[in-house]
Amino acid sequence: MHIEPGVVDGAKIILSYATAAGAFGLTAKMAVDSIRNDGGAGALALRSVVTTALVFCFFEILPHHPVGVSEVHLILGSTLLLLFGAGAAAIGLAAGLLLQGLFVAPFDLPQYGMNVTTLLVPLWAISLFAARIIPARTAYVNLKYRQALALSTAYQGGIVGWVAFWALYGHGFSVENLAAVSSFGAAYMSVILLEPLIDLGVLAGAKALDRYSRGPMFNVRLHQAA
């Protein structure tokens, strides 16, 4: 989902500063909610370090290919949310993306506002969506495939929607640009199909290793009903 350099440039890029500010505001809200309801500030700090390291590894180690106006990444946003909570997932996504720009891909830094918006706003949306589709009596380790698929589809759909917005905002509705956006969206279908299986595999591992997947490092909801 890295927006390619040049997709949005000039004065238009100012909009990304505003959307990023809004995304950071949502991150602050998710972080405060995590502190209040999911283990406190210490747990959030610990989980945020873990999620930042994981996100950096996801971007650098897992396969990623440029397609159309962006790159197809296996971001595992819903996985991070389920394991570590929305606050830590959001901080990890923002910080991991920034570290990548600072130390590996400085050419991505001008697009940071767009990229961080594209990651964080859908994460906030699925944190609300999860509360609607997962009953309060259900611990996350007991999720069904359809629930994991719904979360993954919503998250990846949000990413595709934001990428399409930035591409159309930057270059308009030309046939070439629409084709590039469409090719990116179609390629992301592979992620939508794969991520729920990864979610269920990780949750099954957490359930099997119950004694090791409790405590401040993990989301309280992972093993406990709300």
In a domain, 22, yes or no: yes
In a domain, 4, yes or no: no
Query: Is the pLDDT at 78 greater than 80, yes or no?
Result: yes
In a domain, 1, yes or no: no
Confidence (pLDDT) at 158: 94
What CATH number should be reported for the domain holding residue 77? 1.10.1760.20
Least-confidence region, from 80-84, 85-89, 190-194: 190-194
Q: How far apart are CA 215 and CA 183, in angstroms?
A: 43
List % helix, strand, coil for the chain (3-state, nearest 5).
75, 5, 20
Structure tokens, 173:
């509705």
Count of domains observed in the chain: 1
Report in angstroms the alpha-carbon separations of 171 from 3, 92, 108, 116, 161: 13, 30, 18, 20, 15
In a domain, 128, yes or no: yes
Least-confidence region, from 2-11, 123-132, 203-212: 2-11
In a domain, 3, yes or no: no
Query: Is the pLDDT at 1 greater than 70, yes or no?
Result: no
Q: Could you list the residue range(s) of the whole structural domain that residue 210 is in?
A: 10-222
Structure tokens, 27:
């991150």
In a domain, 208, yes or no: yes
* Residues 88-118 pLDDT 10s: 999 999 999 999 999 998 988 999 999 999 9
* Residues 37-50 pLDDT 10s: 999 999 999 999 99
Least-confidence region, from 30-34, 38-42, 67-71, 175-179: 67-71
* Mean pLDDT within 29-33: 98
* Mean pLDDT within 188-213: 87
In a domain, 216, yes or no: yes
Report in angstroms the alpha-carbon separations of 121 from 22, 141, 157: 9, 25, 11
In a domain, 2, yes or no: no
